[in-house]
Amino acid sequence: MISSRPPTVWIDDSHAIVRRGMAACLQQADFVVRGESAALSPEPAINDLDVLVFEYAGPTLRRAVRLVDTRGTRLVATVRDVTEQAVREMVDAGVSAILPHRSLTADTLVTSLRSVVAGNVALPADMLARLLLHVTQTSHLGPAGLNTRERSVLRLLADGMDTRGIAEDLCFSERTVKNVVHDVLTKLNCRTRAQAVAVATREGVI
C-alpha cells in the first residue's frame, strides 16, 4: 500500500557529486533523502525506508539484497557498464529499477523512483524483451501452475493495484492477499510482484 507520507530514499554512489545531484533532484520532487553512502558504507538505515538507490557491483548487489531482505524496501540500481548479464543478475535479485548512468537525467530518476514506489519496475527498454524471455525460461510455471484465485490477484497486480486495493476488490483480507502473492512468487520462482506479472503476461496466463 502506498502511504500518504513522502517516500523515503537512501542514496549510495561512489561519487559524492553524483550522490548530491541525485539527492537535490529527489528532494525537489518531495522525496525524503534519509542518508548517503559509498559502497554501502556507512550501512544504510533500512527501517521504514521505501527505496535504496545503490551503485551496482557484484558484492554491492549481494549486500543490498541482504540489507532489505524481508523489510519491504525496494532496490534501485545505478550502473555504469550495462551488460545483459549484469541486468539479468539484478532482475533475478529482485531489483525494481535499473538506471544506466549514460542516460540518467533528473526526470528519469524521479519518474523511475515514483514508479518503483507505486510497485512497478523500470528496466532498460533495449533489453526488456530479452529479459522477459530469460525470466520465463528460468521460471517453473506449468500449464496448471496457477489457480483461479492466484490469476485474479495477478491480474490486479498487473493493473497496478496494491494489497489493500486487491483485498477490497476480491473481498479478501489483506493477509490473504499477501499469502496468495507469496504463493504466486514461489510458483513462478520470482522475487518481486513485478517480475511475476512479467512472467505471467509472457506466458499468457493473465
Instruction: Using a pLDDT cut of 90, give the percent of the chain over it.
Output: 42
Mean pLDDT of 101-127: 87
Residue type, 145: G
Q: Are 162 and 122 a contacting pair, CB within 8 Å?
A: no
pLDDT at 31: 97
Single pTM value for the model: 0.64
Q: Does 144 have pLDDT greater than 60?
A: no
**Position 45 pLDDT exceeds 50:** yes
For the stretch 97-110, pLDDT in tens is 999 988 899 999 99
Place of cell 554491492: 60
If one counts every other C-beta atom within 10 angstroms of the C-beta of residue 148, the result is: 7
Longest dimension (CA), the chain: 51
pLDDT tens for each residue of 64-105:
999 998 778 999 999 988 787 888 788 878 899 999 988 899
Q: Residue 4 belongs to what H/E stretch? A: none
H-type helices in the chain, by residue range?
A: 16-28, 58-68, 84-92, 106-117, 128-137, 148-158, 163-170, 174-188, 193-203
CA dist., res. 100 & res. 81, Å (int): 8
Burial group, residue 137, by CB count within 10 angstroms (0-12, 13-18, 19+): exposed
